[in-house]
Chain A
Amino acid sequence: MTHRGSRVLKVGSLARVEGEGALYLRMDGGRVAEARLAIYEPPRFFEAFLRGRSYAEPPDITSRVCGICPVAYQMSACRAIEDACGVVVDGQLAALRRLLYCGEWIESQTLHIYLLHAPDFFGCDSAIDLARSRRADIERGLRLKQAGNAILELLGGRAIHPVNVRLGGFHRIPTTTELRPLADRLRRARDDAAQTVRWVAGFEFPDAGCDNDLFALSEPGTYAIESGTPTVMPAPHSACLTPESDRALPTRTFEVHDFGAHVAESQVPHSTALHSLLDNRRHLTGSLARYAISGRWLSPIALQAAHDAGLGDPRQGTVCRNPFRSIIVRAVEVLYAVDEALRIIDAYEPPPHPYVGVPSRAGTGHGATEAPRGLLYHRYTLDSEGTVTDASLVPPTAQNLGAVEEDLRRIVQERLGDGDPTDAELTALCERAVRNHDPCISCSAHFLNLTVERT
């Protein structure tokens, strides 16, 4: 099919994403009339079957929403339920939670970088394909990923769906002796992570920019991961992204308790899979948002790597709004996570107990943490017996859909301006655009069966 006149491009199943999604583009002459990212992942009804479970269960159960970021679900669930019960976990137990989360960031972000995203920059179908010509690079990626898994396995028991997390802390905490071999491994991983930043910084990046509001947690003094305050950095006024618009704009924050008043999810028939708006505007969570909002709190080694990779200095207010370059930001975050894991291990002193008690009480609690792919919010209502009576999970993917669709529309529109792309070229471009942001679809706890309307 040529692009003259009206045409419809439908990509039945997106590859190198986690979960199942489809793309729908409708073009009217030279204009992109519609871009839709459809989730056809079947619904699994977590929010429904969490009702009636004990308040101790959501950390284990919700980890099964996503095999690629189970710790994120465990941490958001713990925070929300502890909030409902009036308990704050701090000190070394909080540090261990952050260490576990660093493991997930390293593993999950490295998976995204090497196995899902990097093949795009070489025109390869997969990392396995890429390994034929770049074996040393892929082996470095696998080694780095394995280092993240090593943290998860030691502290969590296993890499996927860790078993050691509980309300108030952990079932068992490691000794300093147990952590020592991990530190040796992480020191080697730090070199691999630094090399990863240099590797991806050398890729060729199309000019592009996203003009969405950016949304992430912030916690002054540290790069927010397992806690923080929801923070919004508004988009520049114009969709035309000038160098000036790459500067950080003043942010606004709100309490996590007010999440529902700001982030509205809605189902819309015959349109996108799901709409999520932040104060009635499209927004983007994830690496680009975190880097814009917390970049100045990166460790010196990560800041230097970001600077050397051409991302500028976030301490001077530089932000990155080019979705293709998100792979560099992700690599910087991996380097930071390795560095941060080492810092936590160096400062570790085993706490007196593996957990603090979390007595149940009636109430509603809220929890938000930074999943590798963006802000993940949980809310639970408990009765006085500690039974869950209501649950709400708002994953980053659902929040990002609107921004990703806008990105798709803009990228295709720009490409149409450059000549006559074939359907195959457009498909490849669109798939890249999705993988730039968030290749993680099964965390869409919500689902809308899409009816495709052809023109």
Chain B
Amino acid sequence: MTASDRPKLAVWKFASCDGCQLTLLDCEDELLGIAERVEISHFLEASSADAPGPYDLSLIEGSVTTQQDVDRAQHIRAVSKRLVTIGACATAGGVQALRNYADVADFQAAVYARPDYIETLATSTPISAHVPVDFELRGCPIDRGQLVEVITAYLAERRPDVPAHSVCFECKQRGTVCVTVAHGTPCLGPVTHAGCGAICPAYGRGCYGCFGPSNSTNFPSFIPLLRRDGMDTLDVVRVLRTFNTAAPEFDTASRKELEE
């Protein structure tokens, strides 16, 4: 295929750590192959070349935290046939959405000697709060295998095959003994979206929810389990309010926890 025949891929960054974009560069075995199948038209972390849109597939990392971000999200949507968010920031506001529970002016004053120089929105929001999104890939960071699946799927014009069940399924697949059952370790696996491969329990710690909520969560049944295993109210709130704090399920559960 010549360059002009190939689908055009763009990778964009909003407020984030760059880890999800890096996941693409961490596809060491697939990177050159992917680059042969698509034209990488905009990917500032990897290339100085910057071709104008429209783009067949845009991947967005990071959350919306400035007015310019809002405008940029709308522009990207307008020039992209398919728009996929990659990671917890773009999908659920990221760890920086902790400002959503605070007065952002207090945050600015805590970090900056001259907070008046800082231009920021009071919230950190996912891309879907501003423009329609075709698919959201979860994770902090995203999983390499899932990223390759998503890119491949859109190249083939099919839906990505990314399971929406909980981390518990992946523990079973991996053959990991349940850390909650065996050791009484608090674990967010039952309410957390699969994708990481259930790493934390395999390393002897409870899941801390970095892939955000799974498609079916039952917090009224689940939170008493966390309490049984030693977490108090603030522990529960903190673990829900970390990397996917603005995901509606985690947000609602943490608010309810504080009310009770």
Contact flag A67-B141 (CB < 8 Å), given A42-B15, A126-B46, A449-B118: yes
Contact flag A142-B31 (CB < 8 Å), given A42-B120, A57-B238, A171-B204: yes
Which residues 124-151 in B have Cβ within 8 Å of A in the complex?
124, 140-141
**What residues of B have a CB within 8 angstroms of the CB of A159 in the complex?**
26
B35 and A15 form a contact (CB under 8 A): no
B71 within 8 A of A: no
Contact flag A43-B16 (CB < 8 Å), given A16-B45, A128-B35: no
CB distance from B67 to the nearest CB of A (A): 11
Q: Tell me the nearest residue of chain A to B206, going by C-beta.
A: A171
B95 and A445 form a contact (CB under 8 A): no
Which residues 239-267 in A have Cβ within 8 Å of B in the complex?
266-267
Which residues 44-85 in A have Cβ within 8 Å of B in the complex?
44-49, 51, 53-54, 57, 60-61, 64-68, 70
Contact flag A172-B203 (CB < 8 Å), given A64-B140, A126-B46: yes
B22, B32, B102: which contacts A138 (Cβ < 8 A)? B32
A45 and B18 form a contact (CB under 8 A): no
Convert A111-129 into 0s and 1s, putting 1 for each residue whose CB lies closer than 8 angstroms to a CB of B: 1000100010000011111
Could you tell me the distance between the alpha carbons of A187 and B251 in the complex, rounded to whole angstroms?
Answer: 48
Q: Tell me the nearest residue of chain B to A15, going by C-beta.
A: B48
Q: Tell me the nearest residue of chain A to B65, going by C-beta.
A: A42
Could you tell me the distance between the alpha carbons of A264 and B13 in the complex, rounded to whole angstroms?
Answer: 30
Contact flag A47-B49 (CB < 8 Å), given A64-B95, A161-B140, A163-B200: no
**What residues of B have a CB within 8 angstroms of the CB of A42 in the complex?**
14-15, 65-66, 69, 120
Contact flag A44-B203 (CB < 8 Å), given A15-B44, A15-B48, A128-B35: no
Could you say which interface size class chain B belongs to?
Answer: 35 or more
**What residues of B have a CB within 8 angstroms of the CB of A66 in the complex?**
17-19
A67 and B20 form a contact (CB under 8 A): yes
**What residues of A have a CB within 8 angstroms of the CB of B196 in the complex?**
158
Could you say which interface size class chain A belongs to?
Answer: 35 or more
B259 within 8 A of A: no
B18 and A442 form a contact (CB under 8 A): yes
Contact flag A143-B107 (CB < 8 Å), given A67-B20, A354-B204: no
B260 within 8 A of A: no
A409 within 8 A of B: no
B91 within 8 A of A: no
Residue of B15, B95, B113, B196 with most chain A CB atoms under a 10 A cut-off: B95
**What residues of B have a CB within 8 angstroms of the CB of A149 in the complex?**
26, 28
Q: Tell me the nearest residue of chain A to B19, going by C-beta.
A: A67
A157 within 8 A of B: yes
Contact flag A70-B111 (CB < 8 Å), given A127-B46, A158-B199: no
**What residues of B have a CB within 8 angstroms of the CB of A19 in the complex?**
13, 18
CB distance from B70 to the nearest CB of A (A): 12
B23 within 8 A of A: yes
CB distance from B210 to the nearest CB of A (A): 7
A14 within 8 A of B: yes
B242 within 8 A of A: yes
Residue of B21, B44, B238 with most chain A CB atoms under a 10 A cut-off: B44
B178 within 8 A of A: no
Residue of A19, A166, A269 with most chain B CB atoms under a 10 A cut-off: A19
A157 and B22 form a contact (CB under 8 A): no
A53 and B118 form a contact (CB under 8 A): no
Contact flag A442-B16 (CB < 8 Å), given A51-B110, A267-B112: yes
Q: A49-B107, A67-B141 are in contact. List 16 more A-B contacts (CB 8 A).
A: A16-B46, A16-B48, A19-B13, A19-B18, A43-B111, A43-B112, A44-B15, A48-B99, A64-B19, A67-B17, A70-B19, A129-B47, A146-B29, A160-B141, A161-B140, A172-B205
Write 12 A-B pairs (CB below 8 A) sorted by A numbering: A16-B47, A41-B15, A44-B65, A44-B94, A66-B17, A66-B18, A67-B141, A126-B47, A135-B32, A170-B203, A172-B204, A269-B114
A→B interface (CB under 8 Å): 13-20, 41-49, 51, 53-54, 57, 60-61, 64-68, 70, 111, 115, 119, 125-129, 131, 135, 138-139, 142-143, 145-146, 149, 157-161, 163-164, 166, 170-172, 266-267, 269, 354, 431, 442, 445-449
